[in-house]
Amino acid sequence: MELFDENNENKHSDRTFDSKSPLADRMRPQTFDEFRGQEKIVGPGTPFRKSIEEDRVGSVIFWGPPGSGKTTLAELIAGTTRGMFIPFSAVTSGIKEIKAVISKAGNFRKMSGRKTYIFIDEIHRFNKAQQDAFLPYVEKGDIVLIGATTENPSFEVISALLSRVKVYVLERLSDEALTEIIENALNDTERGLGSMNLKIDDK
């Protein structure tokens, strides 16, 4: 299974849009200026935002409800930093795939001196053996692990790994943030529905 292309780092930073793609995918924020919600974590001037902009992000886990921005934050990290970004599914990947991605990350670091960011969606679905496989490489800094989960990491992530990551708790989006997201979709003529002249009914 080809997990990524070594010659194309951070593909997420140069996305093209298919008009037939789902609206949610087309409107996914491409910059922090477009991101809504989670101001306490990634608002302007926050320590985590600065670490992303300065390309010194450590391993993290985003814990929050569906739709709170976990995957979007991971992709914004991919588009902002200079390392290689590898999306990795905890549902479909086993030890074999983990070893392959670790090997590629090591080769990439030797050749470029840059980090590899591995995004693991639904990290709570990894069993202990799978989580253990990442541990030594997180410890040595060979990879930067970005996990996303809807479950409490204290119960789903092994303590050895949990002690080496920073957990950020994402809140459910406020009504104000949701309204802004909807209005942006209605007004955006390139990616959204702006050409249809739709309006929100205040009622």
**What predicted TM-score, i.e. pTM, was given to this entire model?**
0.83
Residue 63 counted as domain residue: yes
Q: pLDDT by residue for the chain (203 residues), tens digit each?
A: 334 444 444 544 445 556 667 876 786 788 898 899 899 999 999 999 999 999 999 999 999 999 999 999 999 999 999 999 999 888 888 889 999 999 999 999 999 999 999 999 999 999 999 999 999 999 988 899 999 999 999 999 999 999 999 999 999 988 888 888 777 677 766 776 666 776 666 65
Residue 69 counted as domain residue: yes
Residue 136 counted as domain residue: yes
Identify the CATH number of the domain in which residue 149 sits.
3.40.50.300
Residue 192 counted as domain residue: no
Q: Are strands 144-149 and 166-169 parallel, antiparallel or unpaired?
A: unpaired
Residues in Cβ contact with 62 at an 8 Å cutoff, skipping those fewer than 6 apart: 69, 70, 73, 74, 146, 147, 148, 149, 168, 170
Q: Which residues of 55-88 are buried (b: 16+ CB within 10 A; e: fewer)?
A: eebebbbbbbeeebbbbbbbbbbbbbbebbbbbb
Number of domains in the chain: 1
Residue 75 counted as domain residue: yes
Residue 14 counted as domain residue: no
CA angle 137, 77, 70 (to 5 degrees): 90
Residue 32 counted as domain residue: no
Residue 22 counted as domain residue: no
**What separation in angstroms does the CA of 139 have from each of 41, 45, 132, 167?**
24, 28, 11, 16
- Residue 113: give the domain boundaries: 37-172
CA angle 52, 18, 69 (to 5 degrees): 35
